Structure 1
């Protein structure tokens, strides 16, 4: 039963996405929202079925096996895939519920109305591909859904068809695709020639001399997908996408799936040499330096949030850096950070989208007095910026605290201090910048006398504000069950 429910979770939006290429306006609204709603309900069914009947065990179903390839395609249902699948399905529904109004003719900055069916098609495919990626048990399945996510990302980033949008869409497709070729082609090549199995479970059988290089290749795929140093530049440019796509891209899909890929590999690959830890520690520290230097000079709300995404994904990779030493707490912290980040980053982007929708600008220098003009939006912007800085009791405070409990790595090497100090520095600088913009945008003198919003937008922001505060308590029981497979650590 759980296998069927899981498969339907990503199959339904994939089919819905294909149908949407032929639809527009109200029919497109209905099919898009229906696809996201059904996917969310199916994912909730998977969650309930898993918790009630599978007691945190790993459910592995091989759908396609051959003599040459071993397992070519299958699914894994375990605490990690169930948790992240639920995050993606819930966040995706809220983002596109909001998106139904954002993509209307009432949007001051980007009125659309007719033609939104194409955007819905790409977004619905994006949802299906992301969920398919999360549950895949083989490198062939991961590659197919990885590339489909990249195609959908190109579609949404270039949707407005401006010169900047077309360039950004091409860049968002090419950079992760290069990483995919390096990582997945290496893994599939080794699977075919040496292991005769494409399953993640076969990773533990890779020889010790090959294992670190295979991991490094897959790490490159994860870095490019997650916009880590030195391939981070595509993510600020991808702000050309409509805001609901930006929220999904940053909060629950593209960027997070690079982190998820590396976490999956670490679960199965077994013991790695210590130099992998040193390499990851240096790379993540360089990554965190980029947003620290860029926060103070950003005036565009979405670009500020884009650099924040580079940092938050980097913080997830700090957890995985500790996990490469065999510290299970690093794996848990990374997935906890992914979960909490999804909702606070979604809230931040959807609030920035209301600046476009209601005020026609993303230039934060032109926005002030929100507490009087748009009070719910003012509250949402304050919660989002303080939440991203890691201020308690917002969600990311808990996942960062989980990360800081992983200081056992300090017993291995003092180098472990480097990424920890960079996380603290990033939080401090973003808090300073966030407070500066809250003071101006929320409490400053009114920049306009009045601005209109819509109940759908208000409801979406309220749902996300609530989730920002409660999601750590809902997610932690599953986070606690996440661990390594195969006894390699």
Structure 2
């Protein structure tokens, strides 16, 4: 048993470190080799994450904490394996690996929107991002989360500002400032936790008195809002349009914006009884963000900008689920974790569909993509699947995230009547967003091809393969998540 545990610890550390090693090698490689190395190293991380998840399953789905580095009997960094960490680690590595593979075809001279080959630093930042995300997700200490959160912020800054234009650099700096300043909430939480328990372990949250726990959770929530672009700390995300679309898929679906909701979910899992005031605050901000995001994506005609505001709204649903769990609903927490996992595949598919349209047709503007099903059926199918998955249409994965959220919310409203209008508003938004996406589907996918679509170019094999995998995962990921969280 001890040998098995040490082997798993080694696999986990390699899953974290291999992307960083790959980034160092990729940085010194020529462009033609960098796009081959990045998928290889990200693929190794996928194998590691899947191995860890299967080990967790074979161990009987029991949470396991493994120490890694201590100083003077204080654990500074450790590893946690449970349903949430194993699922999110798989999502991060799989979407990250697919992003690297997709980029090898997308970032080329054949791209009709912006023809360019990716510099080695592009792939290096992506690999570091994957490694840091896995490190944060598997960390059992708040200090470990802080370390990897800073690396994630630096990688996001490098990728958002990749094009080195004035607007890209301005947006990157805004993202860095907002996410890092909000992360001071996590610093505050770490200091208070250590002063009261002598430990940085997340499980020590359950030992805090309720008044102190309230203060610590407020710090965690502030860090979560900033990194997951929730109102009022959302301003860095909507302007990140110049980011290469594969990066948008990774940042907005599986990586950067998922940091905040994961930090919140992990704290709830570890925190024992949590003051209900945190749940009230969480629900209020989630609903404000949900309504704001919906209103803002209504007038958008640029598919990428629409998806960015849609992402803000979807993250609000995850915050809503996690906040509802504080009132005693285990189903709500399961819904939130499942939402993180399922949304990673559905939203990355939608972003990469937008990238495929711009690559092939030279535009992301929805009115200019009319009739795409006749010339680019894979893009059209991807659009339809992503739209139905995001808006929660069965049998796609989004339905299995949203349905338990609404069930738990309406169940809790029996004891907390103020939650009834909250859930009604959320339900109205869900139905309205489906109607709006369906409207654009009818006005974009079907009909006679527009000029841009009629002259569209074929997609590279790497891009086609990525879209097919994500289409399949948008159907199947909920089966994986439900078995891990049951």
> Common fold, TM-score beyond 0.5?
yes
Higher relative contact order (CA 8 A, sep 6+): 1
Aligned ranges 1:223-238 → 2 under 5 Å = 223-238=225-240
Tell me how far 1:427 sits from its aligned partner: 1.6
> Larger deviation: 339-348 or 361-370?
361-370
Whether the 8 Å CA contact 1:226–1:259 is kept in 2: the answer is yes
Tell me how far 1:274 sits from its aligned partner: 2.5
Whether the 8 Å CA contact 1:284–1:419 is kept in 2: the answer is no
Match of 1:71 among 75, 93, 113: 75
Residue 95 (structure 2) pairs with residue 91 (structure 1): yes
Aligned ranges 1:53-452 → 2 under 5 Å = 54-67=59-72, 70-113=74-117, 115-181=118-184, 183-406=185-408, 407-448=410-451, 449-452=454-457
Whether the 8 Å CA contact 2:175–2:236 is kept in 1: the answer is yes
- Match of 1:209, SS? helix
Q: Distance in 1 between matches of 2:279 and 2:50?
A: 36
Tell me how far 1:36 sits from its aligned partner: 0.6
> Larger deviation: 220-229 or 263-272?
263-272
Q: Distance in 2 between matches of 1:100 and 1:403?
A: 37
How big is each residue's C-alpha offset from its partner over 1:39-80, in whole Å with a ceiling of 9 and x where there is no partner?
00111111222222x11112211122223x721111111121
With over 3 angstroms needed to count, the CA separation of the structure-2 counterparts of 1:99 and 1:422, relative to structure 1, is farther
Whether the 8 Å CA contact 2:125–2:158 is kept in 1: the answer is yes
Tell me how far 1:19 sits from its aligned partner: 2.5
Whether the 8 Å CA contact 1:40–1:90 is kept in 2: the answer is yes
TM-score, normalised by the number of residues in structure 1: 0.94
* 1:18 equivalent in structure 2: 24
Q: Distance in 2 between matches of 1:33 and 1:418?
A: 47
Tell me how far 1:470 sits from its aligned partner: 1.2
Match of 1:478 among 472, 479, 484: 484
Q: Distance in 2 between matches of 1:382 and 1:30?
A: 31
Tell me how far 1:193 sits from its aligned partner: 2.5
TM-score, normalised by the number of residues in structure 2: 0.95
How big is each residue's C-alpha offset from its partner over 1:373-415, in whole Å with a ceiling of 9 and x where there is no partner?
1111111112112221111111101110111221331133112
Q: Distance in 1 between matches of 2:449 and 2:380?
A: 12
Whether the 8 Å CA contact 1:318–1:419 is kept in 2: the answer is no
Whether the 8 Å CA contact 2:179–2:226 is kept in 1: the answer is yes
* 2:3 equivalent in structure 1: none
Match of 1:456 among 457, 462, 482: 462
Q: Where has structure 1 moved over 4 Å in runs of 4 or more?
A: none
Q: Structure 2 regions of 5+ residues with no counterpart?
A: 1-6
Q: Distance in 2 between matches of 1:355 and 1:436?
A: 18
Whether the 8 Å CA contact 1:204–1:268 is kept in 2: the answer is yes
Q: Distance in 2 between matches of 1:56 and 1:328?
A: 16
- Match of 1:405, SS? helix
Q: Structure 1 regions of 5+ residues with no counterpart?
A: 481-489
* 1:486 equivalent in structure 2: none
- Match of 1:62, SS? strand
Whether the 8 Å CA contact 1:388–1:396 is kept in 2: the answer is yes
Whether the 8 Å CA contact 1:358–1:451 is kept in 2: the answer is yes
Aligned ranges 1:45-56 → 2 under 5 Å = 45-52=51-58, 54-56=59-61
- Match of 1:175, SS? helix
How big is each residue's C-alpha offset from its partner over 1:86-112, in whole Å with a ceiling of 9 and x where there is no partner?
111112112221111011111111211
> Larger deviation: 150-159 or 354-363?
354-363
RMSD: 1.4
- Match of 2:183, SS? helix
